[in-house]
């Protein structure tokens, strides 16, 4: 292990230290379903009704009584039941009711026979297959009973959850207030996108990336812009961000250079929880507490900023909103089709393309240059290749762990 990586804390230790300090927000509001996409439930949601709300037919066919069927005689059709227009008349013994899928079954119905298992004889039908008690009847409440918990608190509402609530007639849902996240990037060299570049300047990638990911995660973003590498300006930005936000995220200036003031500012205005992790990229990530907000100092290199956002800020925000499903991504082992360069000492998040090879097996290939300033190879990737801290170079054909990107990084 390289000596200058010896004192770095592991990603797991950092995540544990960070997440164990957090208390989820509880302020909530009630919003209409159509405005709830991406929001997080503040309470459990229970069903006000049974689903299905009445016994109904699962097939187009005939509602029957078993005693009538056993006679084997042709059975006259005594009426019709449609979804939305139940049969309401008298149902004479020795007859059947024509019924459509979703229609309430008439009182006394013991089975629904699908029409393909019948033959018509004038005004009557003959059943051509055995009939079982209860067949093709969807019973009241067999999906959901009234009062049943359909969503836990801390559930992100998306295209599966919101239609479920709609199916229960729930028009409003109680959700957590949005987290307020203040962001700024630091660096004398940074220009906002859309401005011409002067000598020595580069475009501000990180604020754009961080803001975009925060919006995707349903946060309210307070964008404080680009802050110069100047302690006075930086202090003002820290204080303003702390006043306004639950979480403050800066990028850049978190290493040890002569224009890197982020860590000393955090020490001066708050308290550092940890700094410097055994991960690559993202080593100088800093986490701590300001007056009334949590602070994450992301490294300036754009891939480092994106990786630390993904691996640390994402679970932080999930925990602050009490989310049940862990935001920590899952990993799997696949064969690596490329040779990978790696020095022991840090857990490496290389960028890869996970795909099926000609034999139908999953394999991963590198996206090429892996420097923490090389955003182009990040943009081609669909997964991280996660290489253990002590591991050295990887030869083609070796097994590696991959972590497919979740929805945060996918289009
Ligand atoms: N002597 C050492 N030097 C460095 C170390 C170290 O351990 N010892 N760590 C290196 C690592 S690892 C990283 S990562 C970087 C982190 O640097 P900072 O967080 O201090 O960031 P800056 O110095 O401000 O910038 C680094 C790099 O990234 C560019 N940058 C910054 N902000 C943006 C932005 N918003 N958009 C696009 N690019 C940005 C900046 O121009 C620099 O090129 O430190 C290493 N050094
Ligand atoms: O940790 Mo730095 O992000 O290796 O480039
Ligand atoms: Mg620096």
- pLDDT (0 to 100) of residue 1: 46
Token duo for residue 385: 């290749």
Residues sharing a CB contact under 8 Å with residue 86, sequence separation 6 or more, in sequence order: 103, 104, 106
Of all atoms in ligand 1, which is nearest to the CA of residue 207?
Answer: 35
Q: What is the DSSP string of 268-329?
A: HHSEEEEE-BSEES-TT-EEEE-SSSEEEEE-SSHHHHHHHIIIIIHHHHHHHTT-SS--SP
Low pLDDT (below 50) residues in the chain: 1
Tell which one of 251, 281, 299 to mutate to probe ligand 1, the residue whose CB is within 8 A of the most ligand atoms.
299
- pLDDT (0 to 100) of residue 230: 97
3-state secondary structure of 181: strand
- pLDDT (0 to 100) of residue 50: 97
- Around ligand 1, the residues with Cβ closer than 6 Å are 185, 187, 189-190, 202, 204-207, 251-257, 260, 281, 283-284, 299-302, 304, 372-373
ipTM, 2 decimals? 0.99
3-state secondary structure of 123: coil
Neighbours of 97 (CB within 10 A): 25
- Which tens digit of pLDDT belongs to each residue from 169-221? 999 999 999 999 999 999 999 999 999 999 999 999 999 999 999 999 999 99
Give the environment of ion ligand 3: residues with CB less than 5 A. 255, 257, 260
- Ligand number nearest CA of 304 is 2
Ligand 2 neighbour 304 (Cβ under 6 A)? yes
Ligand 2 neighbour 372 (Cβ under 6 A)? yes
Tell which one of 372, 375, 377 to mutate to probe ligand 2, the residue whose CB is within 8 A of the most ligand atoms.
372
3-state secondary structure of 206: helix
- pLDDT (0 to 100) of residue 325: 64
Q: How many A from CA of 390 to the centre of ligand 3? A: 26
- pLDDT (0 to 100) of residue 5: 84
């Amino acid at each position: 292990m390289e000596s200058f990586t010896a004192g770095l804390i592991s990603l797991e230790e950092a995540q544990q230290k960070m997440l164990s300090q957090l208390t989820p927000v509880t302020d909530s509001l009630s919003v209409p379903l159509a405005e709830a996409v991406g929001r997080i439930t503040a309470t459990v949601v229970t069903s006000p009704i049974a689903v299905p709300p009445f016994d109904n037919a699962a097939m187009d066919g005939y509602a029957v009584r078993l005693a009538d069927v056993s006679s084997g005689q042709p059975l006259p059709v005594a009426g019709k039941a449609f979804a939305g227009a139940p049969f309401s008349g008298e149902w004479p013994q020795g007859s059947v009711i024509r019924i459509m899928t979703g229609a309430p079954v008439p009182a006394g119905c013991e089975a629904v026979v699908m029409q393909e298992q019948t033959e018509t004889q004038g005004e009557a039908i003959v059943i051509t297959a055995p009939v079982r008690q209860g067949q093709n009847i969807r019973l009241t409440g067999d999906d959901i009973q009234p009062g049943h918990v359909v969503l836990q608190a801390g559930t992100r509402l998306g295209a599966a959850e919101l239609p479920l609530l709609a199916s229960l007639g729930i028009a409003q849902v109680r959700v957590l207030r949005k987290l307020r996240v203040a962001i700024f990037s630091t660096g004398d060299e940074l220009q906002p996108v859309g401005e011409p570049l002067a000598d020595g300047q580069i475009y501000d990638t990180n604020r754009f990336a961080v803001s975009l990911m925060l919006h995707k995660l349903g946060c309210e973003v307070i964008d404080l812009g680009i802050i110069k590498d100047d302690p006075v300006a930086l202090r003002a930005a820290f204080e303003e961000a702390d006043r306004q936000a639950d979480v403050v995220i800066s990028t850049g200036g978190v290493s040890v250079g002569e224009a890197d003031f982020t860590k000393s500012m955090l020490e001066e205005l708050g308290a550092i929880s940890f700094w410097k992790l055994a991960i690559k990229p993202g080593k100088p990530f800093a986490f701590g507490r300001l007056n009334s907000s949590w602070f994450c100092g992301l490294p300036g290199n754009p891939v480092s900023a994106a990786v630390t956002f993904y691996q640390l800020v994402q679970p932080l925000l999930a925990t602050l909103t009490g989310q049940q499903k862990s935001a920590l991504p899952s990993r799997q082992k696949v064969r690596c089709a490329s040779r990978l360069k790696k020095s022991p000492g840090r857990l490496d998040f290389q960028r890869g393309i996970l795909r099926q090879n000609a034999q139908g097996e999953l394999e991963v290939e590198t996206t090429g240059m892996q420097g923490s300033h090389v955003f182009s190879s990040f943009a081609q990737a669909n997964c991280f290749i996660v290489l253990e801290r002590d591991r050295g170079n990887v030869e083609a054909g070796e097994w590696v762990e991959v972590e497919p990107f979740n929805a945060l990084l996918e289009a």
